[in-house]
Amino acid sequence: MTLAPSPDGVARRPNRFLAILRALLREPIGCTALVILATVLLLALLAPLITQYDPLFQDRRAVLKAPSLAHWFGTDDIGRDVFSRVLYGTRISLLVGLLVVTFTMLIGGMIGLISGYFGGWTDMIIQRIVEALDTLPSLVLSLFIAAMLGPSVRNVVIAVTLAQIPRFVRVVRSEMIKVRAQDFIAASRVIGASSLRIMLTHGVPNLIPTMLVMGSLSFGIAIMTEAALSFLGVGTPPPNPSLGTMLAQGTRFIGIASWLIVFPGLMLTISVLALNLIGDALRDVLDPRRR
């Protein structure tokens, strides 16, 4: 990589994340997905400024009203504004997804890094635990943990994180095994670098591209899982707005008030689709065979 000269004459390495972002923006699919995701984020963050109704306010005079200028997405069976609830529900979904990805990358990445670097008994013990957790599908495991802990946003984050960690551990471990076999790792050991220093200075930077791709895909999975848990009654507790809870409540009126399902489902679909497209674009951008 060519080093860019700085004003003081010292060559500096360009920021890796900015380089990845620029490459992603040059991808048509990645750029489109970023724009869609940014729009969803802005709508969720600016929900208090955009909406004119409290998501918990019940107007008994406007029950099951179709979409109109007064209520853009209509109202539900107890007179709550669906547009407000969709935006506030999206905030909860994005918050859960962000927390899940953060904790999963930190915990799963650290465990996978240790497992792949040290190998031997350490690797065997960690992999047996990961295999035990991975015997159940992630949604079933999340449902089991959330049902034990009880419905709350915090418990949803814990349940989904524990279910996503095994996937991160396996991927990071396999990548770390490849990095460990490189000559620069052997050279670092020869000059007396500690295992911690080698993992932090050589392991982590080489694993960042893989973890970014995994993180974007896991973000979408976390949002879908939160919606599924809320749909089943063990996720975000009512009356807090949640896309999954809105879908569950809207199924009772699907024949006479389809907007109760269409708009929450559309927001959920758009968010997950954008995240998956970003993950695919990142995988293409970071593929060394294309560079």
Cβ 164 vs Cβ 220: under 8 Å: no
d(CA 47, CA 92): 12
All residues at 6 or more sequence positions from 138 whose CB lies less than 8 Å from its CB, including other chains:
163, 164, 167, 221, 225
Q: What pLDDT, on the 0 to 100 scale, is given for residue 288?
A: 56
From CA 224, how far away is CA 142, in angstroms rounded?
Answer: 12
Q: What is the pLDDT of residue 287?
A: 63
Q: For 43-97, what is each residue's pLDDT tens digit?
A: 999 988 998 899 988 888 888 899 998 889 999 988 899 999 999 999 999 999 9
**What pLDDT is attached to residue 3?**
45
Model pTM?
Answer: 0.85
What is residue 120's predicted lDDT score, i.e. its pLDDT? 87
Helix (H, G, I), strand (E, B) or coil at 159: helix
DSSP code of residue 5: E
Burial of 82 (0-12, 13-18, 19+ CB in 10 A): buried
Structure tokens at 90: 């999206």
Domain boundaries, the chain: 16-290
CATH 1.10.3720.10 corresponds to the domain 16-290:
yes
Q: How far is CA 39 from CA 33, 47, 49, in A?
A: 10, 12, 15
Neighbours of 16 (CB within 10 A): 12
